[in-house]
Chain A
Amino acid sequence: MKFRANLWIGGALFATVVAAGALAPWLAHTDPVMDANLMNAELPPGAEFWFGADGQGRDIYSRVLYGARISLTVGVLSQLINTVIGVALGMSAGYWGGWWDDVVSGLTNMMLAIPSLVFALAIMAILSPGLTSLLIALGLTNWSYTCRLSRASTLSLKNLGYVQAARILGYGDLRIMLTQILPNILGPIIVIGTLGMGGAVLAEAALSFLGLGIRPPFPSWGSMLSDARDQITTAPWVSVFPGLAIFVTVLGLNLLGDGLRDILDPQSEARAR
């Protein structure tokens, strides 16, 4: 198998972010919330504060590490919710067809017509800010592509011999979908899910930047950027490092998604040849 640069670089970047989040309590120098000291406010990066200190004298390095936890939790869990919803709706619509297909397709088209960030904003405005609300807002607004993909793949599989054979052998519809169809459409769905994770990380940052996501003082990359926007000329490191963290995470996820597509999606493979 040839060396797939995007898969390995993306995987490495993503693994770094995961490790940073998982090991934050051991890697961090200070408590990300409590250890504020105005004496250190806006200290530039140096030996003590690797990434500098923010306006309240907190260690940006430690806060960026903890921020990875928020971003990854929101990115992974919300995409998981989206994927489950999208696959369940799309696969059942494709398999059963009829009025259920009409309902699901209509719903999907409606979701595609609404900008998902705006929709998430609206949901966040109704709910109180916090992790759960973020998961709801981002987990319910981005399933339409997964749904369309699942539906189309199911349509192309459901009349194949082995699916018919399963019906003739007496399998129930649910069992057919889970054992015969799902394993054969999973590859592209994983790709879409991984690419969507990058989007979810960005969306979380955006919502937190607007003050509708994770509330300060808890360190989310988005809210850190928001806090730093007045100091961007005087202390650029306060905004540069959370921004870099978002950049690295999303870049890693996108490369990973592209790399997975090369492996899992036979059609793109055929096109590449």
Chain B
Amino acid sequence: MAESTPILRIEDLAVHFPQGGGLFGAPRMVRAVDGVDLTLARGECLGLVGESGCGKSTLALAVLGLQPPTRGRILVEGVEGAAAGAARKARARVAQMVFQDPYSSLNPRQSVRRTLEAPLRLHGVAGSEIDDRIAAMLKHVGLRPELADRYPHEFSGGQRQRIGIARALILEPRVVVLDEPVSALDVSIRAQIINLLLDLKERLGLSYIMISHDLGVVEHMSDRVAVMYLGRIVETGDWRDIFARPRHPYTRALIAAIPDPFEKKRTMRMTGEVPNPLAPPSGCRFHPRCPEAREACRAEPAPQLETIAAGHRVRCLRAAELAPAGETA
């Protein structure tokens, strides 16, 4: 990957939601995203991994311009986009999203053609170009253009997801957020959609941010992986590093949780639940659940993301000690 300007650069992004409050006392803040730095290179697929409530979706909404950040910046090709208003349309041409549920993500009262035509018209495309682009896009996602006048209920789940992908790509965005793009699909359909997404990435020069619980899919699709825990990135790196040499105990626990009938690893158990984001633990936020936690982990300040190898960064005080056997940290 050429080290040119990244297509997307997220700097110290934070999204805090006020919670409660009222007559007495200031509202407490839920730090859904709390100081995230990320870059997305051209043509790259970045897998965003973490448990429910870790801030993945909020981060994605911020990238899409639907969630104004409390702090930090999002640079598209080195330029900061304005937050709202007229910039909504400009942002729409940069980043789009593919949704998890192919049923609720399509308007049941709009034919495929209307679903694809309305955004084109909104963005000033007119005349025969509309039909050409719709036909071309349907071919791209593997649907026959004759199906354009049908309604969503006439399609299967996999076909619906193809329509959802066509809608996300119709404005020719450069970044696509994939929110669990295959987890609602039949297992037999998943591979088709994954291959379609990879194929489209190559052909149309797209960059993906993929949110997923399914580490198998992440391993298959991602070039780089970022692991989030309670609003922060705890480990990020090349997918090979993350899956072969995970360093953060949380990443290790996630990977150990992948069912694997052949390998007999020492499985690492993670106990407990994600802590209440209103009152995150002191120090390292993972320490209450971490089997490797020591006294130092409980103390402030929280550990920083530190580079342990080229492109591999970990937020853990004991990263060096936890190096896998046979490797120098």
**Residues of A at under 8 Å CB distance from B?**
160-162, 164-165, 167-172, 175, 179-180, 183-184
Q: Which of A161, A162, A170, A183 contacts B89 (CB 8 A)?
A: A170
Q: Do A164 and B107 have beta carbons less than 8 Å apart?
A: no
**Residues of B at under 8 Å CB distance from A?**
64-66, 88-89, 91-93, 95-97, 99-101, 104-110, 118-119, 122-123, 164, 167-168, 171
A168, A170, A180 interface centre (most CB from chain B within 10 Å):
A168
What are 10 A-B contacts defined by CB distance under 8 Å?
A161-B101, A161-B104, A161-B164, A164-B97, A164-B105, A165-B164, A168-B95, A169-B167, A183-B107, A184-B109
| Complexed CA–CA distance, A169 and B97 (Å) | 9
Q: Smallest distance from the beta carbon of B176 to chain A beta carbons, Å? A: 11
Q: Using Cβ atoms and an 8 Å threshold, which residues of chain A touch B118?
A: 169, 171, 179
Chain A binding site: helix, strand, loop or mixed by DSSP?
helix
Q: Which of B97, B123, B167, B168 contacts A170 (CB 8 A)?
A: B123
Q: Using Cβ atoms and an 8 Å threshold, which residues of chain A touch B88?
A: 167, 170, 172
A170-B104 in contact given A165-B99, A165-B167, A183-B109 (Cβ < 8 Å): no
Q: Which of B91, B95, B107 contacts A162 (CB 8 A)?
A: B107
Q: Smallest distance from the beta carbon of B132 to chain A beta carbons, Å? A: 19
Q: Do A169 and B171 have beta carbons less than 8 Å apart?
A: yes
Q: Using Cβ atoms and an 8 Å threshold, which residues of chain A touch B91?
A: 170
Q: Using Cβ atoms and an 8 Å threshold, which residues of chain A touch B92?
A: 168-170
Select from chain A the residue with minimum beta-carbon distance to B65: A168
Q: Using Cβ atoms and an 8 Å threshold, which residues of chain A touch B171?
A: 169-170
Q: Smallest distance from the beta carbon of A102 to chain B beta carbons, Å? A: 14
B96, B107, B108, B119 interface centre (most CB from chain A within 10 Å):
B107
Q: Do A180 and B66 have beta carbons less than 8 Å apart?
A: no
Given A161-B101, A168-B66, 7 other A-B residues pairs in contact with their CB atoms under 8 A: A160-B104, A161-B104, A162-B106, A170-B88, A170-B89, A171-B118, A183-B107
Q: Smallest distance from the beta carbon of A233 to chain B beta carbons, Å? A: 57
Q: Which of B100, B108, B164 contacts A184 (CB 8 A)?
A: B108
Query: What are the nearest 6 A-B pairs in CB distance?
Result: A161-B105, A170-B92, A170-B89, A161-B99, A162-B107, A169-B119
Q: Do B107 and A180 have beta carbons less than 8 Å apart?
A: yes
| Complexed CA–CA distance, A180 and B99 (Å) | 16
Q: Do B96 and A161 have beta carbons less than 8 Å apart?
A: no
A168-B105 in contact given A161-B99, A179-B118 (Cβ < 8 Å): no
Q: Smallest distance from the beta carbon of A104 to chain B beta carbons, Å? A: 21
| Complexed CA–CA distance, A183 and B108 (Å) | 9
Q: Smallest distance from the beta carbon of A263 to chain B beta carbons, Å? A: 15
Q: Smallest distance from the beta carbon of A190 to chain B beta carbons, Å? A: 14
Q: Smallest distance from the beta carbon of B162 to chain A beta carbons, Å? A: 14
Q: Using Cβ atoms and an 8 Å threshold, which residues of chain A touch B168?
A: 165
Q: Using Cβ atoms and an 8 Å threshold, which residues of chain B touch A170?
A: 88-89, 91-93, 119, 122-123, 171
Q: Do B96 and A168 have beta carbons less than 8 Å apart?
A: yes
Select from chain A the residue with minimum beta-carbon distance to B86: A170
Q: Do B96 and A162 have beta carbons less than 8 Å apart?
A: no
Q: Do B122 and A161 have beta carbons less than 8 Å apart?
A: no
Q: Using Cβ atoms and an 8 Å threshold, which residues of chain A touch B93?
A: 170
| Complexed CA–CA distance, A169 and B99 (Å) | 13
Q: Using Cβ atoms and an 8 Å threshold, which residues of chain B touch A184?
A: 107-109
Q: Do B105 and A162 have beta carbons less than 8 Å apart?
A: yes
Q: Using Cβ atoms and an 8 Å threshold, which residues of chain A touch B119?
A: 169-171
Q: Using Cβ atoms and an 8 Å threshold, which residues of chain A touch B96?
A: 168-169
Q: Using Cβ atoms and an 8 Å threshold, which residues of chain A touch B107?
A: 162, 180, 183-184
Q: Smallest distance from the beta carbon of B99 to chain A beta carbons, Å? A: 4
Q: Using Cβ atoms and an 8 Å threshold, which residues of chain B touch A162?
A: 104-107
Select from chain A the residue with minimum beta-carbon distance to B91: A170
Q: Using Cβ atoms and an 8 Å threshold, which residues of chain A touch B104?
A: 160-162
Select from chain A the residue with minimum beta-carbon distance to B118: A179
Q: Using Cβ atoms and an 8 Å threshold, which residues of chain A touch B64?
A: 168
Select from chain A the residue with minimum beta-carbon distance to B179: A161
Q: Smallest distance from the beta carbon of A265 to chain B beta carbons, Å? A: 15
| Complexed CA–CA distance, A183 and B118 (Å) | 15
Q: Do A161 and B106 have beta carbons less than 8 Å apart?
A: yes
Q: Smallest distance from the beta carbon of A178 to chain B beta carbons, Å? A: 11
Q: Do A164 and B109 have beta carbons less than 8 Å apart?
A: no
| Complexed CA–CA distance, A236 and B119 (Å) | 65
Select from chain B the residue with minimum beta-carbon distance to A182: B109
Q: Smallest distance from the beta carbon of A113 to chain B beta carbons, Å? A: 26
